[in-house]
Amino acid sequence: MSRRALITGITGQDGSYLAEHLLERGYEVWGLVRGQANPHVSRLRKHIGDVQITTGDLLDQGSLISAVERVRPDEVYNLGAISYVPMSWQQAELTAEVTGMGVLRTLEAIRVVSGISPSRTPDGEQIRFYQASSSEMFGMVRETPQNEKTPFHPRSPYGVAKTYGHYITQNYRESYGMFAVSGILFNHESPRRGAEFVTRKVTLGAARIKLGLASELRLGNLEARRDWGYAGDYARAMRMMLNQGTPEDYVIGTGQTQSVRDLVEFAFTSVGLNWEDHVVLDERYTRPAEVDLLCADPKKAREQLGWEPRVTFEELVSMMVESDLRLLSESVRPEDEPFSPDHW
């Protein structure tokens, strides 16, 4: 029999790539959404294929229990979150509830449905849980590169919420013997990334200017450095983590960094433009507390999972620019794309 997976955040970038990957592996894939009327569901099915939907909300414990009872999954992937970091300062409480407490509620749903308690630990096959942790938990980094043992110092409400989610996953693993793991994923991008994220903002900006639809692109800090990879590669790592013999956490990244300036220069060069003629620095896009450098040490994932990234930074940016040129040439607005930034 095929394995059954339940994905929260299925209408987001990561959820869509994970759904595709699992379907290719013969899984029965379910997605958790807040309402059947969500317009992104029909678009998701059109692009991804045979995905089944159940309703539930990371803010509502009862709905999550009902969803797990209905689906009876072998694996649960919690990708749902308010994931745009700058927004977390504007909606700090909601970010904590969805991105942090939502993890607890999902774990509790699995625990309750499975009948697990302090006096009754899992026996035999159990529901396996994946938590989408984030490199933003490292924040003001203590060492470079960052690995599974690097201390956390988050610098945003989003990073703080993700840190809570990471630790509560670890706690349920240790307290109840649950198969619960966290993937500490560094920045991963794709043509499906929301238009508000800096990578997509840059590739859309370069495409718009190339097509004569805009003349400038406003950005904040160009010196921040990130470890950028391809979201499709990272979806493979999620499944690998849940198919190990023992539950462990893994850092997933490329081990290489580029600055936002590097990103901008490569994107504009790829369409034959000089970025300095079009990019305007705007302090409104600077974070209240910046994260200057994030770089992964993916040695553990490479050695234990056999995972390696397949798409290079240059290939990723080229892929995104080419996709945005096609998108804009077809007069499709980024906000009409099938993969929603509001995916919790």
Give the residue numbers annotated as catalytic, written as ranges. 163
Q: Distance (Å, rounded) from C-alpha 45 to C-alpha 338? A: 9
Measure Cα distances from 296 to 34, 135, 138 in Å: 33, 8, 10
Q: How far apart are CA 159 and CA 243, in angstroms?
A: 27
DSSP 151: P
Phi, psi of 185 (to 5 degrees): -90, 130
Please return the burial class of 72, using the count of CB atoms within 10 Å of its CB with bins 0-12, 13-18 and 19+. Answer: exposed
The runs of H, that is alpha helices, within the chain are 13-24, 39-48, 61-71, 85-90, 92-95, 102-114, 157-176, 198-210, 231-242, 260-269, 299-300, 313-329
Nearest to 266 by CA among 198, 318, 328: 318
- Cβ atoms < 10 Å from Cβ of 280: 9
